[in-house]
Amino acid sequence: MAERMNLAAWSGVLGTWVSIAAAGVGGYTALQTYNEEVAKMEDARVVQTFALLEMFNSSERLQSRQRVMEAANSDAPLEGHDLWVTLDFFDALQICVERNLCDQDLAVRLFQPYAAPIWSGLGDQITVGRTPSDPNMGEGVQWLASLPAPETAPTVAAEPPEAAPAETPSADETTEPGE
């Protein structure tokens, strides 16, 4: 009978360890699945941001953007279709980033070089153009221009070769002036 108790006790211990191992494997599997889903979501945000870049570089938007950039750089007034097309794009980009559908770091790297000069050159004109029916006009370009610029990756410059140590004259080579 002692053998049966011993066997029952070992069976309980073994069952406990099997349960612990199964919980560990299950937890690890769940964590891996979660990490894969996060990576897929990150990839989807990057893909969506590049889709917006493709739209941004379409021929119609490119022509509009060029005219808007010229006006922004020359402090000239700009009205109409070109300004609306450009501002609508930046508004859509802001919504995409804020809803976590686009990658903010990538969006800043790709689009801020355009938003900053547009806002600095046409910001006053844009804010004056806001109306009760469109109180947020140009908010996307303002938002993007106000974000901190992305950090650039440090460049590793090749270090110049060490210069040969300067030779110091030996004691017999030194002479006193006037000798």
Full-model pTM: 0.62
Q: What tokens does 17 get?
A: 């360890």
Number of Cβ within a 10 Å radius of residue 119: 22
Contact 138, 87 (CB under 8 A): yes
CA distance 83 to 165: 63
DSSP bridge partners of 134: 131
Closest CA to 52 of 117, 129, 106, 123: 106
Question: b/e for 23-42, b at 16 or more Cβ within 10 A?
Answer: eeeeeeeeeeeeeeeeeeee
Per-residue confidence (pLDDT) for residue 28, from 0 to 100: 77
User: Per residue of the chain (179 residues), what is the pLDDT tens digit?
Assistant: 555 567 777 777 888 888 888 888 877 777 777 666 666 667 889 999 999 999 999 988 888 889 999 998 887 777 678 998 999 999 999 999 999 999 999 999 999 999 999 999 999 888 988 899 989 999 999 999 999 987 765 555 555 555 555 555 555 555 555 55
Per-residue model confidence (pLDDT) at position 15? 81
